[in-house]
Structures are given as structure tokens and as C-alpha cells.
Amino acid sequence: MNTVLVAMNGASDEDQRNQVRDWLRDELPHLQVTFADTLDAALHAPQPSILVTFGQPWLPDLVRERASIEWIHLLSAGANHLLEQDLPFERLRISTSSGVHAATIGDYVMAGVLYHTKHLGRFAAQQREKRWERGPQDELEGSTMGIVGLGAIGQGIAVRAKAFGMRVIGTKRTPGDVPNVDEVHGPDDLHTVLRKSDVIAVTVPLTPGTRGLIGPDEFAVMRAGAILVNVGRGHVVDEDALTAAMREGRLRAATLDVFAEEPLPADSPLWDLDNVLITPHVAGDTPAYMRKAVRVFVENYRSWQREGRLTTAVDVQAGY
């Protein structure tokens, strides 16, 4: 019998733990499931072969002490925080809950674009002032959505952009046909995608290769009046270069959910730009998050049992 240790935050309430236990019992009744919210509790639990976690700070100590752990499944969609830790990756399989954010972040991106194209910020301000003043409206139909990173989240954006009548292009590490995408380019063709796009959605994870990916050279080739939405990682977009592009009017607007430093410091110039919408890293928030993340773990487990492969395996060398 495989033993699964679910490491959840101490703030997790008992109802949520019971839900996770029930979901796993319904889907994988043969598993022995235990929970821990501290290193001490984890070390006193039955020795697990599988660790399901968000990536607690004490995780390296646990893995070193428990050689029985062969597989770590992250309840988060990204793995960069785990890959930066001192772990014996040579003996571990790593998977993530990639895809768990596709729908809710896809919704967020379109909301962030509509905020600017429909001038909702201006109308909200007018409402507070009880001021009736009409203004021009723009539309998305016929414009081009460029998606930097056509993974699960990028594909979630693509299907929604298509519903608005947009042409969709994007980049993918291994180019090939992608549903709802008109043009798929390799990473080396990033500038081609940026030149053609009216809206640019950045979804790529943070890796050594994507740090500072959108910098001065990239802003220089973007279409005048383009809208940028960053839902990937803060360090992927050079914030100084973004600020300069916004102040110089090279970009029309930006919607930003992730930042190099979070919370975004009070002295960041981004706070003071009228054409920037800032949200506190909430694009992926949904009441259904935990249920979806557990479902991804279940799919991985079943795939491993059937085919000996994980559906959302992490390539440690690639960084995601």
C-alpha cells in the first residue's frame, strides 16, 4: 500500500483537511493518507512514499530524514520555489498541479484586457463622482492576442480570446499545433509574436532562461498602443523597462498580478501609473482550487500506475 503524506499549512482548517481526505478516499481508496503541518508531525507520521505539498520551508529536512519519499507532488502550478531548495533530485520524481489555474487565470486575463479596452477604471471614477460623461469604447474582435507561453494557462487564455473574435498567436518551447491558436512559434521567435500582438499575455514560469525575458529590447519591438498582462512571474518582466515603456507612451496599458517583490513596495513607480491595473497575486484564486489540485494529483497517480509516467512531471534541468 502506498502511503501519502499531505503537508498542509497550519492555517488550513480541519474542514479542508477532511475534504482532501474524502476526495482522496473516493478516488484512490487503497492509499493510506496522513496529514502534517509541522516537521515534527511529519516525522512522526508513517513513512510516506509520496509527499503532497505546497512546498513548506521544512520540506528539505523531511526529505533528507525520510528516504522513503520517492515522489513529491506540488499542489501549486509552478515548481521554481521547490527547485531552488537543497533536495536530492536524483532520487525524486516531481510533479505539479499544472493546469489548475487555466480557467480562472484565463478569465482574469480577459478581465484585465477589458478593463482597459472598455475604460472601466475611468467609468468607476466617474460613478464615484456622480458624473455622467460618455467616452469612446474599443473592441477586441479582429485584434491579435499574443501569448508568451502556450502551456495549460496559455491555452486557457487562447480559448477565451477566440471567443472574443481575436486572432491568437504565441510561443511554445516545442512548437506544434495548439487548439485555438493560429500561429505557434518557438521561443526564438518571441520578437515576431510581440511585433504582431495588440495584447500580450505573459504566462511563462520563472526559470534561468525566462528571468528578464521581457526587457528593453522586447518593449522596443511591441506595437505602439499594445496592452501587456503579466500572470507568469514578476521576474520575467523587467519592471524598470516596463515603467519606462508606460511613461513614454509606447504601451497603452498593463494589467499586472505578479511582481519581482511581493507585496509590491509602496515606493514602486508602478503604483502611480494611471494606465496600470495592479492586483495582489490573485489571478489564480478560486474556491475550487484545492479540489482541482487534488484532481491533478489523482490523474498523475493513475497515469503512473498505468503507464509509468507522470502527466505533469517537472523537468528539473529545464526548471519546469
For residue 258, the model assigns a pLDDT of 98
Rounded mean pLDDT, 138-167: 98
For residue 320, the model assigns a pLDDT of 86
**pTM, entire model:** 0.91
Identify the CA nearest to 250 among candidates 277, 217, 278, 279: 217
Catalytic pick from 70, 262, 302, 309? 262
For residue 75, the model assigns a pLDDT of 95
In DSSP terms, which residues pair with 93 in a beta bridge? 71
First-to-last CA distance in the chain? 29
> Are 91 and 70 a contacting pair, CB within 8 Å?
yes
Spatial separation of the C-alpha atoms in residues 277 and 229, rounded to whole Å: 9
Of the two residues 318 and 140, the one the predictor is more confident about is: 140
Please indicate whether residue 66 is annotated as part of the active site: no
Q: Cα-atom radius of gyration of the chain, to the nearest Å? A: 21
Answer yes or no: is pLDDT of 309 > 70. yes
Taking residue 317's Cβ as centre, other Cβ atoms within 10 Å add up to 7
For residue 8, the model assigns a pLDDT of 85
> Are 223 and 245 a contacting pair, CB within 8 Å?
no
What 3-state DSSP class applies to 148? strand
DSSP type of residue 249: T
For residue 319, the model assigns a pLDDT of 86
Q: Give per-residue pLDDT as tens, 29-48.
A: 999 999 999 999 999 999 99
Spatial separation of the C-alpha atoms in residues 212 and 238, rounded to whole Å: 5
For residue 1, the model assigns a pLDDT of 55
Please indicate whether residue 191 is annotated as part of the active site: no
Q: Give per-residue pLDDT as tens, 254-305.
A: 999 999 999 999 999 999 999 999 999 999 999 999 999 999 999 999 999 9
Beta-strand runs (E) in the chain: 3-7, 32-36, 50-53, 71-74, 93-95, 144-148, 167-171, 183-185, 199-202, 226-230, 251-256, 276-278
Catalytic pick from 173, 191, 281, 295? 281
- Cβ contacts of residue 72 below 8 Å, gap of 6+? 50, 51, 52, 53, 59, 63, 82, 92, 93, 94, 95
Q: Give per-residue pLDDT as tens, 184-220.
A: 999 999 999 999 999 999 999 999 999 999 999 999 9
Rounded mean pLDDT, 100-127: 97
Angle at the Cα of 283 from the Cα atoms of 237 and 108, rounded to 5 degrees: 95
Domains for the chain: give ranges and CATH numbers.
3-100+286-307 (3.40.50.720), 102-278 (3.40.50.720)
For residue 11, the model assigns a pLDDT of 57
Catalytic pick from 233, 235, 239, 252? 233
